[in-house]
Amino acid sequence: MTEARPTISVVIVSRGRPQSLSLCLLGVARLVYSPYEIIVVADAAGLAAARALPFADALKLVPCDEPNISLARNRGIREAAGEIVAFIDDDAVPEPMWLERLHEAFALPGVSAVGGFVRGRNGISWQWRGRSVDCQGQAHTLAIEGLLPVLPAVPERHAVKTEGTNMAVRRSVLAKLGGFDPAFRFFLDETDLNFRLAEQGHRTALAPAAEVHHAYGPSDLRRGDRAVRDLSAVGQSSMVFLRRHASPETHADRLSKIRLEQNKRLLQQMVDGLIEPRDVRRLLGTLEQGFEAGLAMALPHLTPLPPPASPFLPFQSLTTGEHRVISGRYWRVRAIRREAETLAQAGHVVSVYVFSRTFLFHSLRFKKPGIWWQRGGLWGRSERRLSLRQFNFFAKRVQIECQRVASARWR
């Protein structure tokens, strides 16, 4: 008799990005795991996009139009009936084995939370991997080797850091802690939770093979190209984090460092042509406004969350979990696309590799109806750790790329 697997609730918060949400949901609907449910907490446009999907009746839809990601996540937790609650952003897509790899990490002794790794907008380079965070909210790199789940050792007064777009926590633990702190409407929201978990003695594991692709969608605070629009939320959350976790005598020094960090960030964006020189002073002014708002804010007292408001709604994954690989030259793109669509519609996990006879760097995209599409030069680089030139025959290069993604994409 096989042991029952834990139920998992996937919570997706969305505001102002209905198209991104639709793609995210298509990826979440094709996860190789059972049993799981899908909860969408969104504004009117997001809920309309979710209702337009063919599997809308199998989703839990929760209205929320307030610009506060912590509050929205808490509404998702209240509807979550799974033993574990996993979080992903609406501008991200999970690899098919995402929940399976998170679940494996919960088997480590005493684990209450798990974080996965995040790839950036080209689908290959790492955006975030293993990190810890100190009581001032500063992140520090952790050296994580291999693909197996680990319980990292971190310095005193540090916590294992997870990313809000790729993390999972036992619901019972979340409820006892009061969920996310609504004082963090954006930025450091999951970091505050990480620190509270550590302070209560809960253990957090990292699962390198639990991968999510994060595209940095546009919002009120940044454009789609990551150009800054407003730093008030960064300033406010930074101040709130210091008030929650750091000694008062350390605040001034940390705030000075944040000013320097953001100034450097803005100057680089100016050099890159993303913002105008006149924008730098204005944006730094919004940072100061955020500091002031965070200092003046009355911090809420977090109380335990109630039991689930609705029963578990199991989602029947659109994929069988069977993996198919299609590869070819760039001039066969149309035929490859037709074959890939047919296989994806039949429920297969489909990986496509289209190579040109060049040294072009590789990129990877998740495309409708459920295709992982990688393209680039036959001799070009995929991961940065690899040589700039990969002198391989076509079949060998396909094999190398399949092995690179194997743990995240199929059993």
| pLDDT tens, position by position, 45-76 | 999 999 999 999 999 999 999 999 999 999 99
Could you state, in order of their start, the residue ranges of all structural domains in the chain?
Answer: 8-214, 232-296, 323-409
What pLDDT is recorded for position 224? 78
Q: Domain 8-214 in CATH: superfamily?
A: Spore Coat Polysaccharide Biosynthesis Protein SpsA; Chain A (3.90.550.10)
Q: What is the CA radius of gyration of the chain?
A: 21
Helices (H), 2-65: 18-28, 44-51
What pLDDT is recorded for position 65? 92
Q: pLDDT averaged over the chain?
A: 95
| pLDDT tens, position by position, 275-331 | 999 999 999 999 999 999 999 999 999 999 999 999 999 999 999 999 999 999 988
Cβ-in-10-Å burial (0-12, 13-18, 19+) of 265 comes to middle
Pairing of strands 131-134, 158-161: antiparallel
Q: In this predicted model, which residue has the larger pLDDT, 386 or 407? A: 407
Whether residue 389 is predicted with pLDDT greater than 70 in this model: the reply is no
| Token pair belonging to 167 | 């993390």
What pLDDT is recorded for position 20? 96
Q: Is the pTM of this model over 0.85?
A: yes
Query: What average pLDDT does range 39-46 have in this prediction?
Result: 98
| pLDDT tens, position by position, 220-233 | 878 878 899 999 99
How far apart CA 123 and CA 364 sit, in angstroms, is 5
Looking up tokens 């919002």 gives 219
- List Cβ neighbours of 122 (8 Å cut-off, separation of 6 or more): 361, 362, 363, 364
| Token pair belonging to 388 | 């700039």
| DSSP code for 20 | H
Query: What average pLDDT does range 107-131 have in this prediction?
Result: 96
Neighbouring-strand partners of residue 371? 350, 367
Helices (H), 209-363: 232-245, 251-271, 277-296, 333-345
How far apart CA 218 and CA 208 sit, in angstroms, is 27
How far apart CA 197 and CA 193 sit, in angstroms, is 6
| Token pair belonging to 307 | 């039991």
How far apart CA 314 and CA 34 sit, in angstroms, is 8
What pLDDT is recorded for position 393? 86
% of the chain residues with pLDDT over 90: 92
User: Which of 142-151, 210-219, 347-356, 359-368 bottoms out in mean pLDDT, i.e. has the lowest?
Assistant: 210-219
What pLDDT is recorded for position 388? 64
Of 337, 226, 315, 398, the residue nearest 40 (C-alpha): 315
Residue type at position 264: K
| pLDDT tens, position by position, 70-109 | 999 999 999 999 999 999 999 999 999 999 999 999 999 9
| pLDDT tens, position by position, 161-204 | 999 999 999 999 999 999 999 999 999 999 999 999 999 999 99
Pairing of strands 111-119, 203-214: parallel
